[in-house]
Amino acid sequence: MISDKKTLEKVYTARNSEQLMDAYKDWAVHYENDTLGEFGYVAPKATAKTLHTFAAEADQRILDAGCGTGLVGQALRELGYAAIDALDYSKEMLDQAAGKNIYAKHIQADLRQPLEIPNDTYDAVVCTGTFTYGHVDARAFDELIRITKPQGVIVFTIRDGAYQELGYRKRMIDLELAEAWELLTFHDEDYLRAENVICKMCAYRVLSPDRARQEA
């Protein structure tokens, strides 16, 4: 079943975290029908493919940050990755992801706050669909760098429009200049294909998590 308009409107017009989580609570069970079925959401597979280009080792430890119902985790599993943890702020989305039995750990946490994850924990972090309007802003980059090992890879999408408007670009470049990470790829990809929405597909190699900490 596709969601009613009211549910989707709540996601798109949420003005704070509480409203957004409330919207995802209602959306969780219909999320995949809507995004995959209606909107032509192709970013999860594209993200997994991008990670595979730069970090193909199957045994690496990966965090799927803003995992939602687990679409990126599924795409990663299809490419042979097996050690994947899931993180999301929405309990209901995380419950959907847990139902798939594809993640080693399920972490409920807010990407806009310091994470209770030790430094240098992951070989790779992916974050798809979460850098967008009303969701998570550029300050989260610092935490993603902190929890990624030096030489680890971070792959994320930023919805077109939000990229230009919400300050992501400035923080990405500041962190490049600080040599906290180096750019591997930055290109346009289809995002919601049926809606003609594209995203920036970004991949970075972490150089020095300490530099991100000093910069913050």
Ligand X SMILES: C[S@@+](CC[C@H](N)C(=O)[O-])C[C@H]1O[C@@H](n2cnc3c(N)ncnc32)[C@H](O)[C@@H]1O
Indicate whether 88 belongs to the interface with ligand X (CB under 6 A).
yes
Tabulate helix, strand, coil % of the chain (nearest 5). 40, 30, 30
| 125 forms part of the interface with ligand X (CB under 6 A) | no
71 part of the interface to ligand X, by CB under 6 A: yes
User: Is 44 an interacting residue with respect to ligand X (CB under 6 A)?
Assistant: yes
Angle (CA) 159-164-170 rounded to 5° is 110
Task: For ligand X, give the closer residue by CB, 3 or 207.
Answer: 3
| Tokens (6 digits) for 143 | 């935490």
- In Å, what is the CA distance from 56 to each residue of 104, 190, 191? 19, 22, 23
Decide if 31 contacts 66 (C-beta within 8 A): no
Closest approach of Cβ 179 to ligand X, in Å? 27
141 binds ligand X (CB under 6 A): no
Min dist CB 69 to ligand X, Å, is: 6
User: Smallest gap, in angstroms, from Cβ of residue 35 to ligand X?
Assistant: 6
Closer to ligand X by Cβ: residue 50 or 90? 90
The span from the CA of 58 to the CA of 64, in Å, is 15
The verdict on 93 binding ligand X (CB under 6 A) reads yes
Integer Cα distance of 191 and 201 in angstroms: 9
Indicate whether 111 belongs to the interface with ligand X (CB under 6 A): yes
Burial class (CB in 10 A: 0-12, 13-18, 19+), 49: middle
Residue 130, interface with ligand X (CB under 6 A)?
yes
The nearest distance, CB 88 to ligand X, in angstroms, is 5
Q: Which stretches of the chain bind ligand X, using CB under 6 A? A: 17, 20, 24, 43-44, 66-68, 71-72, 88-90, 93, 110-112, 128-130, 135-136
